[in-house]
Structure 1
Amino acid sequence: MSNAFRELLRKVGSGTHTGEDLSRAEAKAATQMMLLQEATPAQIGAFMIAHRIKRPTGEELAGMLDAYEALGPALQPIESAYPVTVLCLPYDGRSRTAPISPLTSLILTSAGVPVILHGGDRMPTKEGVPLIELWQGLGIHWEQLSLDRVQHVLETTGLGFVYLTNHFPLASGLVTYRDQIGKRPPFSTLELMWSPYAGDAHVVCGFVHPPTENMIRDAFARRGITNFTTVKGLEGSCDLPRDRTVIIGANKSEFERLCLVPRDSGFAAKEVPLSPTDEWVEAVQAVLAGKPSELTQSAIWNGGFYLWRCGVCPDLDAGLAKAASLLTQGAAAQKLDEISKATQSLVAVQS
């Protein structure tokens, strides 16, 4: 048993009247002890559930991010005309709506904006479809690449994926506790903010509940992160909805609230429902082939916004037009083919 960890657990688990928030340094220390399994399983599970009940603070999340930076993987800086965009999506995946982020990534990278994604396998308690399975369906096997190979793909194609199971086994080792406690721990919020990139990045954070956005803003302010976007997206992801106003926070030098109304741009519709992965892959391939569909419209709506937000286009209308062009003229499809060939050649070399 770790006596040092027990003292930190006592602070967060002492209840409404006597419990205390951790300092940034204490939160970093607690996270490191959990990642390194220096705390016992009983201590780790107790901390996760106690911290969930208490709710993490922005200062605590900043400390947890410090620990991830100290012990986790990081892709190295690359040269690019635009900052690398890190899309942070819930690791427990999707269960109701069709994922758009792979298409968004292809649109952005085909326009010269590098993109980094990260995630793991099926994650308790939701057990939704994770990104890794979607990319596998598209013929991209990130799980077969070492981190240095992912770095090469990022440098040559503009897309990278940090796979928790292989690239950050310390964090992957904590996944089983999510199933055992039956609730999302604060690590699920941390993952919405984590940037596994050593250079300056534009970090995009999906969220569901407004308090989460406030915690993100507080933690980023403490860590000096100024280029970020928050999105009240589909199932907490970075995917912009079409059946409601999109609530977005855009921060560079200062925070700006954006409320995008899909109807104003002609994109209002019911969300495309989640389908089995093989059917989703067929639908994505049809989008990349330039065939019109509701999924195509969702891809243009998302791609157009992010092209504007990342600085490729001067306004939303120009972004929407460019996203449509990149799909109909085959640039996004060519980018997928480029990434597929790059990853396949590296897998063969590794083998």
Structure 2
Amino acid sequence: MSHEFRELLKKIGSGTHTHKDLTRAEAATATRLLLTGEATPAQIGAFLIAHRIKRPTAEELAGMLDAYEEYGPLLPKRDLPGPLIIFGHPYDGRSRTAPVGVLVALLLATAGSAVLLHGSGLCPTKYGLPLEALWRGLGVEWRGLSLERVGQLLEQTGLGFLYLPDCFPQAQALMDYRDQIGKRPPLATLELVWAPYDGPFHLIAGYVHPPTEATMVQLFALRGIPTFTTVKGLEGSCDLPRDRTAILNHAGKRLLLKAHDYALAGSEIPLGSPEDLIRQMQHMLAGQPCELTPAALWNGGSYLWHLGHAPSLEEGIQLARELFCSGRVMDKVRQLTHLVQPSYL
């Protein structure tokens, strides 16, 4: 048993009226003890549920990210065309609506940005469809790649994906606790705001509840992250909704985007089988209209504009359409399929 961890657990788990928040240094210590396994299973489970009930502060999350930076992977700075675009999607995936994050990443890389995603396989508590499975469905296998190889691919293709079980097994080992307590602990918030890159980046983080956004903004200030965008996205992802106004916060500036203004509004696309979604994605890549088209154009066009590839949102949507229909996005998939060769295959 870790006596040091027990004292931190007592501090946050003392009840509604007597608990105390951790300092940034204490939160970093607690996370270190979680990652190294110095805390016992009983202590880890108690800490995760107590911290969820208490709700994490921005200072605590900053300390937890400090520990992630110390013990987790950090991609060295690479020769990229601009700041690396890092998307923070929930690792436990989607269960209700069809994700288009992979298509958006391909589109941005085709337009000239460098994009990094990170995630895992099936994760608790939702056990929804993860982005990694969609990449595999398109023939791109990110599992088994070294950190160095991911950095090389970023330079070569403008795309990278860090697969948690390979690149950060200490964090992956905590997934079982999430399943056992039946709730997302504050560790799940780190997935949205983790930026494992030692160079300039633009962090795009999804969220569900408005208080989470406020905490994120405070966290970015504490961590010295000047360039960020928060997105009230579908199921906490970075995917923009079409059936309501999309709410973004770009480094303190509020953006309200309406798909209705661009004839792309409609009901959100329900998530069917993974095989059906992959077929729709392949139709998009081939420039063929499909059920996924409005969501892909709305998200792709919005991000192309937001990240400087088009002077207006309308022109961003048109550029997205042209890139899909011309086959250039499909060419990016072919490039990745050719270059991404995990060591164990």
Q: TM-score, normalised by structure 2?
A: 0.98
SS at match of 1:141: coil
CA contact (8 A) 1:203 1:228 kept: yes
Matched residues in 2 for 1:247 and 1:171: separation?
A: 30
Give 2:178's aligned residue. 178
- Counterpart residue identity of residue 169, structure 1: P
Structure 2 CA distance, aligned partners of 1:326 and 1:312? Answer: 12
Question: 2:191 & 2:282 partners in 1: Cα distance?
Answer: 29
Asked if residue 33 in structure 1 is aligned to residue 33 in structure 2, the reply is: yes
Partner of 1:114: 114
2-side partners of 1:173 and 1:294: how far apart?
A: 37
Alpha-carbon distance, 1:81 to partner: 2.5
Counterpart residue number, 2:287: 290
User: 1:307 pairs with 294, 297, 304, which one?
Assistant: 304
> Does residue 64 of structure 1 match 2:61?
no
What is aligned with 2:260? 263
Q: CA deviation at 1:147?
A: 2.0
Please state whether the residue corresponding to 1:230 is helix, strand or coil: strand
The question of whether the paired residues in 1 share the 8 Å contact of 2:88 and 2:203 is answered with yes
The total of aligned residue pairs comes to: 345
CA-CA distance at 1:271 after TM superposition: 1.0
The runs of 5 or more residues in structure 1 that have no matched partner are none
Q: 3-state DSSP class of the match of 2:9?
A: helix
- The secondary structure found in structure 2 opposite 1:143 is coil
1:223-262 correspondence to structure 2 within 5 Å: 223-251=223-251, 255-262=252-259
The 5 A counterparts of 1:1-351 are: 1-251=1-251, 255-344=252-341, 347=342
In the alignment, the residues of structure 2 paired with residue 63 and residue 310 of structure 1 have an alpha-carbon distance, to the nearest angstrom, of 29
Distance 2:151 2:79 in 1: 12
| Separation of aligned partners in 1, 2:344 and 2:98 | 33
CA–CA distance in 1 between the matches of 2:113 and 2:218? 27
Gaps of 5+ in 2: none
Question: Offset of 1:124 from its aligned partner?
Answer: 1.0
Query: What's the CA shift for 1:290?
Result: 0.7
CA contact (8 A) 2:74 2:197 kept: yes
CA distance in 1, matches of 2:344, 2:14: 50
Q: Please list the CA deviations of residues 192-233 of structure 1 after superposition, one character each: whole Å capped at 9, or x if unmatched.
A: 100121111110100000011111111111011010111111
- Identity of aligned pairs, percent? 55
TM-score by length of 1: 0.96
* Larger CA deviation: 187-196 vs 146-155: 146-155
* Range with greater deviation from structure 2 (34-43 or 316-325): 316-325
Conserved? CA contact 1:248–1:259, under 8 Å: yes
SS where residue 183 of structure 1 aligns? coil
Asked if the contact 1:162–1:196 (Cα under 8 Å) also holds between the matched residues in 2, the reply is: no
Give 1:320 deviation, angstroms.
Answer: 1.2
8 Å CA contact retained: 2:280, 2:291: no
* Separation in structure 1 between the aligned mates of residue 24 and residue 250 of structure 2, nearest angstrom: 25
Deviation at 1:141, TM superposition (A): 0.8
Conservation of the 8 A alpha-carbon contact between 1:82 and 1:311: no
Deviation at 1:322, TM superposition (A): 1.0
8 Å CA contact retained: 1:305, 1:319: yes
Per the alignment, in what secondary structure is the counterpart of residue 148 of structure 2? helix
State the AA in 2 paired with 1:236. G
Instruction: Give the partner amino acid of 2:77.
Output: P
Q: How far did residue 331 of structure 1 move?
A: 1.1
* Conserved? CA contact 1:86–1:117, under 8 Å: yes
Following superposition, the deviation at residue 286 of structure 1 comes to 0.5
Let me know the Cα RMSD of the aligned residues: 1.1
What SS does the aligned partner of 2:86 have? strand
Q: Work out the CA distance in 2 between the residues paired with 1:157 and 1:56.
A: 37
**2:80, 2:155 within 8 Å by CA — same for their partners in 1?**
no
* 2: CA distance, partners of 1:218 / 1:27: 16
Residues 228-285 of structure 1 show CA distances to partners (whole Å, capped at 9, x for unaligned) of: 111111111000111111011111xxx1111111101111011111121111111111
The offset of 1:294, in angstroms, is 3.2
Distance 1:15 1:270 in 2: 42
50-59 vs 320-329, which moves further? 320-329
